[in-house]
Structure formats: C-alpha cells, structure tokens
Amino acid sequence: MSPLTDLTRPTSNGVADCDPVPAPVESWPELGTRELPAFPVEALPGDVRAWVEAVAAETQTPLDLAAMAALGVLGAAAQGGAVVDCGWEEELSLFLLVALPSGERKSSILRAAVAPLRELERERSDEAAPGIRELRAKRDVLEVRRRKLTKAAGEASEPEKRTVAEAELAEADELLAEIGEPVAPRLLADDLTPEALGGLLALHGQIAVIAAESAFLDNLSGRYSENGANLHLLCAAYSGEPTTIDRRNRDPEIIDRPLVSVALTVQPHVLSALIDHPIARAQGLVGRFAYALPVTRLGHRQIDAPRASAEASQAWANCVRQVADKTDRTPKTANCVGSVSVSHSTVTKLTLSLSLHSRASRNYALSKRRG
C-alpha cells in the first residue's frame, strides 16, 4: 500500500474516516524518494535571499529552514494589510511547519529571523505605554463613578433624582465604551490555548505564532481540555473568516476578520502526530500548512563556515520593519481590504515547491508511522 493516503475521506455521517484508503494516482502522485527540487530562493526578494543564504551558510543548515522562517516572519509582518490577487484571493497569513531532528539549530535560526519583529513589537509597546496608562486611569475613575451612580439611581426616592442619576450613568457607560480595553500592541504569541487565542484575536484582530516548539499545537489538540481538540478558530483565522465566540457568563466576542500566521520548527514526531490526528485532518488543519522536511547537513558541515555579514542582517531587519510599517493594522472586514497583484510565475514557483515539500513530508511521516 502506498504511504500516501486520502486522510479526509468523509463517511455518511460527515465524520472523516481515519482508516487509510489508497489515494487515486491522479490526485496523489507516488513520491518514492525524499529528493526534492531545491527551495526556490531565487523567487525571494534580494535582501531576503541574501539573508537566507548567509544564515544557512553560517549555521551550515538547509536553505529551506531559513527560507521558511523568513516567509513566516514576513507573513506575520504583512498579514491584514491586503489580500493577494493571483487568479484567486489569499490572505497574507501563512501556516508553515519545518520538521528537522534535534541538533539542527532550528531555534537559533528562528530566533534570528523573528528578532526584528520582536524589536518592533517592543518599540510599539513602549510608544503606546503612556497613552495606555492614561486611558486605564480614566477608565478606573469612570468605573468608580459608575458604581456610585448605579447605587444613587437604585436608592433615589424621587423620580427627578433617579432620572438625573440614570442620565449620568448612561453618559459614563458611553465614555467607558469609547475607551474600551486599553492594551499594548501585540504582534507575537507563543504558548497559546484556544481560549487565549480567541481573547487575543478579539483584542487585536490578528497575531502570529512563531516558535521552535510544539506547545501551540499541543494546546489546540486538547492538552488542557477535557473536551478534546479545538481547532475551529485557528482554521477560520487562516483565511479571515468572520467568527463569533460564545463563552458562558460572558458577552460574545465578535471577530470580523481574524488572522493568524504560524511558523513552527519542530521535530519530525510532531509532524507525524499532526498528520495522525483525526480531528486535525477532518477539520482541514493538516491541509492548511505548507511543510518542509529538509535533508540534514549533519556530517557534511564546514568547520570554518563564513559568518553572516552585519550588512545582511541589517538589510533583513530593515526589510521586516518596512513591511510591518507599511501594513495598515486598522481593523477591517474582507470587503474593504485592498488587493495586491503579484507575479503569477513567482506564486506558482513558490507554491509548487512548498506543495512538493508538503507532499514529501506527509509521505515520509506516514511511512515512518507505519514502520
């Protein structure tokens, strides 16, 4: 039996059948080896390509690792600013997963890739801090006043006094609604539960999870929940689908266009577990990711590898900052977002390469699982 199988074959009751079923040849070509075309670094912008090649050379790691990390960071920096029109519409958010064994310097490369975005997040947080403190102080004063007005309106024996208190109470409520919940800007998150993800998206509309561990996937798969996996919001945030989150004893959280970018560098057993998860397959999470399973360079590394130049690192940081600074993060719906036309050949080249890497990764993980 081919290790490539139809992982989401529906049954009559609408639940995906987890039993392996041979895939039609026309939909899943047999990939007998893990030899793939090289990652198309030539499709990357010049400064991005230079950083990817420099970091890969310095760390003696596959180009795929740095390239996927760079794409994940740029997707996080740009998400929400536009939709891509290349014959169909796609959000700028990306779901990326690189699987490599321990010792492949995944954390080091991801840390270098995301550093400019973390610095930008710190700068925006520091810049917003004085205004946030002022708004929180005003909110505290208004909440104290609201409690007093509520008590006065409830205890007023004369209709005139009750009317005045109720009018002032309505004014206080209006001012509180204008202030809202003052929070520091957020671009990045890590060890999120489904509930925390919903809360962040309700406050900010979008977030990026860029991590060298699998805690995020573990949480979504039900590590802290007796009810099992909760993947709906993450799947919806792949394409900005409007979502309403209902919680017991709380007002519903309405998110018009939730967006999440995910870039994970994990060990191969995490990929196997993701593919093996029936709910992740049935709800389409497996299919939303682009995968890379690069060939290790262990045993073939240069001892005196060239260091990445400061110029390449600075150019990468400038690129990330430029993309993020040009992204309008004002909450908006999909109907009022601009579109960006891109080279069809570039999209096709990157998509084909990522698709081949994804298929090979699934092929390898399935073959490992079946022993």
47-94: per-residue pLDDT in tens? Answer: 999 999 999 999 888 999 999 999 999 999 988 887 877 677 788 889
pTM of this structure: 0.75
Q: What is the pLDDT of residue 7?
A: 32
14-36: per-residue pLDDT in tens? Answer: 333 334 444 444 444 444 455 66
213-222: per-residue pLDDT in tens? Answer: 878 888 877 6
**% of the chain with per-residue pLDDT over 70:** 75
Q: What is the pLDDT of residue 328?
A: 56
Let me know if residue 11 belongs to a domain. Answer: no
**% of the chain with per-residue pLDDT over 90:** 29
123-158: per-residue pLDDT in tens? Answer: 999 999 999 999 999 999 999 999 999 999 888 888
Query: 58 and 98 share a domain?
Result: yes
Query: 343 and 305 share a domain?
Result: yes
Q: What is the pLDDT of residue 102?
A: 83
Query: 115 and 243 share a domain?
Result: yes
pLDDT category at 351 given cuts 50, 70, 90 is: very low
Q: Long-range CB contacts (< 8 A, 24+ apart) of 18-26? A: 18/278, 18/281
Q: What is the pLDDT of residue 219?
A: 80
Domain that holds residue 309: 41-128+184-369
Let me know if residue 148 belongs to a domain. Answer: yes
Query: 116 and 155 share a domain?
Result: no
Of 179, 204, 239, the residue that ends a domain is 179
Q: What is the pLDDT of residue 225?
A: 58
Of 179, 213, 246, the residue that ends a domain is 179
Query: 321 and 265 share a domain?
Result: yes
Q: What is the pLDDT of residue 228?
A: 64
Query: 109 and 142 share a domain?
Result: no
Query: 99 and 201 share a domain?
Result: yes
Query: 280 and 364 share a domain?
Result: yes
The total number of structural domains in the chain stands at 2
pLDDT category at 344 given cuts 50, 70, 90 is: very low
Query: 271 and 358 share a domain?
Result: yes
Residue in the block written with tokens 């990330």: 320
Q: What is the average pLDDT value for the chain, to the nearest integer?
A: 78
